[in-house]
């Protein structure tokens, strides 16, 4: 048990990029599919938790080459085209259900393999027999230590490498079916049929869609059998972006319901048509009053209009019912949450736990906790809102919420506690054992805290190859800022000006071309990209030797600088609107001209030789000394270290060290007392 945590209500709006971890279900499926693929796959946004680490370790034991970077959230995995390098070994799956099921089916692909498999005590009690019985029909057999057929962990798996007409009883867990579906395309002619009742549909659909994303779509015949019409090793998508966990995201969809006007929280990579069934929560939240819209592949949640009670069926996305239930005491009318009987057998009896804790806050619920205790078949909850009742309880001091070792109880009440009920920032909710969020979201309370930030603008200036772009990009990702590379603006204009046959020495030609230009921005990850006349110039185009040779001469012209100044300043509003915690803009005149009132101004420098070396290491044909001279001697907005800027000489610093130093400087500005 960790010590209890007093939740500090938000007295201001919430703002910033929610630091939601990657989805566990997608991370573990992607690991299996990438291992079975031909070629290398880079997984981005991956979850690093106990369960995913177990699967990574097991794959390494089986001979797969995997390079993971927890800080960057990436996993690089070398696929082996459907072959498993190690034919004999021991694997321990802890209490990781997905690893246990997925690995067992995966190992069945090994020709004449022999694997000793075990798990934690809890795992030994979890369902495996549906999968083991199914594989037995293709001569992959599981034995106990005594040599008898095994129905659960531990067992020795003797594999045949074949997959034929499989039938699986997956009524105990949809993972038993998903495990088989993922290996199905590896053997021509193999089929899988389900016996017994249907299982959790959204997770099976997730598996099917991911098989298709890795190039081997599954089909179903008239009898409901799955098969792959085009079998073979999976095809690596090269880079595969793992969606943020949709259940975890529900807390940050809910947060702007209880924080100040003007709240705007950004969920990078959150899509309504994503792979996770729990994204349905966004639709319910909208009915309840949430203000959600989508920008590219990301969602933006602003202050909710109101909180409208109502009648909701949470059967298909029940992990998120607690999130709504915790908002219900603040709604305008009662909230009914239906069809959640199965949640009574999860981490705890969630229905009873929620009813009990709402009661503790003075909120009336039906059925009452006593009635729920008496009748295990009750499957819905009605919550009657009453601010007066909450206030009455709060006046006696903070209420301690029991969390029953359930991460979702802790996170849901963390959101309710963020509401400034007493109007003066006094805490009124205390969470017992906040460490229980570690199961899926170890840094939940830090992520919540990070949204209590004020908007910052950071200006970074410096000469060529002083590290501006690399530093700004990394800082933007870590702190949830929007990154703007103004060098790319000048480079994009240069591409357009060269196309229009304008020359720096012929001002009229430049002005004529500029009059035909229209600039826009699109968001790509954490960066704002410049769009010229509807087109984003490629990296190759804007960094060509020809552009390198002309950009500084064009950039020295006041006509060009004036043309782009308002566009650059408008990026501040773009970042604010999109819900970023601020923006970080880099160039030559940002602290001096574009954003002279920036929250923090930084000047990066490195000696000329170091910078020349960096550029030549990148293989760029670029005379940076010449550009530096032009940039620092021009009359209009020359490259200077703005007064009051913090100078960082990074000649002898690594990129990581510069990033760390810049983040240290920004931290106090982001924090709101
Ligand atoms: O990456 P590197 O530092 O070499 O150059 P960049 O940031 O892409 O900028 C290319 C050129 O645009 C610079 O050499 C400057 O001439 C111009 N520039 C500018 O004048 N003012 C800025 N704020 C940014 C770039
Ligand atoms: O944007 P700017 O031209 O100022 O520089 P950059 O493109 O961010 O950095 C140029 C190269 O120097 C990149 O390959 C960086 O990884 C590298 N670099 C470094 O080696 N050490 C630093 N302290 C900063 C950057």
Interval 103-153: pLDDT, tens: 999 999 999 999 999 999 888 988 899 999 999 999 999 999 999 999 999
The verdict on 476 and 367 lying in the same domain is: no
Ligand 2 atom closest to 464 (CA):
3
Looking at residue 621, its pLDDT comes to 64
User: Would the pLDDT of 102 be above 60?
Assistant: yes
Ligand 1 atom closest to 556 (CA):
20
Q: What is the mean pLDDT of residues 155-161?
A: 98
How many residues appear in the chain? 673
Domain boundary residue, one of 196, 216, 241? 241
Identify the nearest ligand to the CA of 548 by its number: 1
The verdict on 236 and 249 lying in the same domain is: no
The verdict on 228 and 352 lying in the same domain is: no
Identify the nearest ligand to the CA of 564 by its number: 1
Q: What is the mean pLDDT of residues 57-73?
A: 94
The verdict on 40 and 82 lying in the same domain is: yes
Q: What is the mean pLDDT of residues 443-450?
A: 94
CATH code, domain carrying 198: 3.65.10.10
Q: What is the mean pLDDT of residues 211-237?
A: 97
Sign of the dihedral defined by the CA atoms of residues 468, 474, 480, 484, in that order:
positive
Q: What are the pocket residues of ligand 1 if the criterion is a CB atom closer than 6 Å to any ligand atom?
A: 464-465, 469, 486-487, 490-491, 551-552, 555, 587-590, 627, 631
User: Would the pLDDT of 626 be above 90?
Assistant: no
Report helix, strand or coil for 245.
coil
Ligand 2 atom closest to 653 (CA):
23
pLDDT tens digits for range 379-400:
999 999 999 999 999 999 999 9
Q: Which helix (H) or strand (E) holds 663?
A: helix 655-670
Whether 466 is covered by a domain: the verdict is yes
Between CA 265 and CA 262 the distance in angstroms is 10
Whether 447 is covered by a domain: the verdict is no
Q: What DSSP string runs through 523-548?
A: EETTEEEEEETTBPPPHHHHTSHHHH
The verdict on 133 and 270 lying in the same domain is: no
User: Would the pLDDT of 19 be above 70?
Assistant: yes
The verdict on 291 and 155 lying in the same domain is: no
The verdict on 160 and 218 lying in the same domain is: yes
pLDDT tens digits for range 578-616:
999 999 999 999 999 999 999 999 999 999 889 988 888
Identify the nearest ligand to the CA of 627 by its number: 1
The verdict on 167 and 271 lying in the same domain is: no
The verdict on 205 and 287 lying in the same domain is: no
User: Would the pLDDT of 622 be above 70?
Assistant: no
Q: How many separate domains does the chain show?
A: 3
Residue nearest to atom 11 of ligand 2 (CA): 614
The verdict on 110 and 196 lying in the same domain is: yes
Looking at residue 620, its pLDDT comes to 67
The fraction of the chain above a pLDDT of 90, given in percent, is: 84
Domain boundary residue, one of 205, 223, 241? 241
Q: Which helix (H) or strand (E) holds 565?
A: helix 558-569
Catalytic residues: 319
Looking at residue 673, its pLDDT comes to 46
Residue nearest to atom 21 of ligand 1 (CA): 588
Between CA 78 and CA 419 the distance in angstroms is 47
More confident residue, 439 or 24: 24
Residue nearest to atom 23 of ligand 2 (CA): 655
Structural domain containing residue 165? 24-241
Distance from the alpha carbon of residue 468 to the mean position of ligand 2, in angstroms: 7
Between CA 527 and CA 529 the distance in angstroms is 6
User: Would the pLDDT of 263 be above 70?
Assistant: yes
Pairing status of strand 291-295 against strand 298-302: antiparallel
Q: Are 463 and 605 in contact (CB under 8 A)?
A: yes
User: Would the pLDDT of 672 be above 70?
Assistant: no
The verdict on 599 and 622 lying in the same domain is: yes
Looking at residue 125, its pLDDT comes to 87
Residue nearest to atom 18 of ligand 1 (CA): 487
Q: What is the mean pLDDT of residues 281-292?
A: 97
DSSP 8-state code for residue 453: B
The verdict on 426 and 534 lying in the same domain is: no
């Amino acid at each position: 048990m960790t010590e209890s945590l007093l939740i500090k209500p938000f007295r201001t709006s919430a703002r910033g990029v929610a630091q939601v971890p990657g989805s566990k279900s997608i991370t573990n499926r992607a690991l299996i599919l990438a291992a079975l693929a031909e070629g290398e796959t880079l997984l981005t946004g991956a979850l690093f938790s106990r369960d995913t680490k177990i699967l990574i370790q097991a794959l390494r034991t089986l001979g797969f080459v995997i390079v993971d970077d927890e800080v960057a959230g990436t996993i690089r995995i070398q696929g082996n085209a459907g072959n498993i390098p190690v034919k004999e070994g021991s694997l321990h799956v802890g209490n990781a259900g997905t690893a246990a099921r997925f690995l067992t089916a995966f190992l069945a692909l090994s020709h004449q393999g022999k694997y000793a498999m075990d798990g934690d005590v809890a795992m030994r009690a979890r369902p495996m027999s549906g999968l083991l019985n199914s594989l037995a029909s293709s001569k992959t057999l599981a034995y106990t230590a005594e040599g008898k057929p095994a129905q659960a962990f531990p067992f020795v798996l003797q594999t045949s490498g074949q997959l034929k007409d499989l039938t699986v009883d997956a009524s105990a867990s949809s993972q038993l079916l998903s495990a088989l579906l993922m290996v199905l395309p590896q053997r021509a002619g193999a089929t899988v049929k389900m016996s017994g009742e249907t299982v959790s549909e959204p997770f099976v659909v997730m598996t099917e869609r991911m098989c298709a994303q890795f190039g081997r779509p599954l089909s179903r015949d008239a009898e409901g059998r799955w098969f792959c019409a085009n079998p073979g090793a999976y095809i690596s998508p090269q880079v595969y972006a793992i969606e943020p966990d949709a259940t975890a995201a529900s807390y940050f969809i809910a947060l702007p319901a209880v924080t100040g006007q003007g709240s705007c929280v950004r969920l990078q990579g959150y899509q309504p048509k994503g792979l996770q069934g729990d994204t349905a929560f966004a639709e319910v939240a909208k009915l309840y009053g949430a203000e959600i819209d989508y920008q590219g592949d990301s969602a933006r949640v602003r202050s909710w209009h109101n909180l409208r009670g109502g009648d909701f069926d949470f059967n298909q996305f029940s992990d998120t019912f607690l999130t709504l239930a915790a908002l219900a005491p603040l709604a305008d009318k009662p909230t009914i949450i239906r069809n959640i009987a199965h949640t009574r057998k999860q981490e705890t009896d969630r229905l009873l736990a929620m009813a009990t804790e709402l009661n503790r806050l003075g909120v009336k619920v039906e059925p009452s906790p006593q009635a729920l205790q008496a009748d295990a078949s009750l499957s819905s909850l009605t919550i009657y809102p009453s601010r007066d009742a909450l206030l009455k309880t709060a006046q006696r001091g903070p209420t301690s919420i029991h969390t029953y070792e359930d991460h979702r109880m802790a996170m849901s009440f963390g959101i309710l506690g963020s509401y400034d009920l007493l109007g003066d920032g006094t805490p009124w909710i205390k969470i017992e054992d906040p460490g229980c969020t570690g199961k899926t979201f170890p840094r939940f309370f830090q992520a919540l805290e990070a949204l209590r930030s004020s908007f910052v603008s950071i200006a970074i200036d410096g000469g060529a190859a002083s590290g501006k772009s690399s530093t700004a990009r990394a800082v933007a990702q870590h702190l949830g800022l929007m990154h703007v590379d103004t060098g790319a603006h000048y480079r994009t204009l240069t591409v357009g000006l060269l196309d229009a046959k304008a020359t720096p020495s012929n001002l009229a030609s430049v002005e004529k071309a500029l009059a035909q230009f229209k600039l826009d921005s699109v968001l790509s990850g954490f960066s704002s990209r410049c769009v010229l006349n509807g087109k984003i110039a490629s990296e190759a185009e804007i960094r060509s030797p020809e552009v390198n040779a002309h950009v500084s001469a064009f950039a020295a012209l006041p006509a060009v600088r004036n043309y782009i100044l308002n566009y650059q300043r408008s990026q501040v509003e773009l970042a604010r609107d999109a819900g970023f915690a601020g923006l970080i803009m880099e160039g030559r005149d940002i602290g001096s001209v574009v954003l002279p009132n920036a929250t923090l101004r930084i000047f990066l420098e490195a000696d000329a030789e170091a910078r020349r070396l960096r550029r030549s290491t990148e293989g760029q044909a670029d005379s940076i000394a010449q550009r530096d001279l032009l940039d620092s001697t021009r009359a209009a907005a020359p490259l200077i270290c703005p007064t009051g800027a913090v100078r960082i000489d990074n000649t002898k610093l690594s990129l990581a060290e510069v990033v760390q130093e810049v983040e240290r400087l920004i931290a106090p500005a982001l924090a709101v007392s």
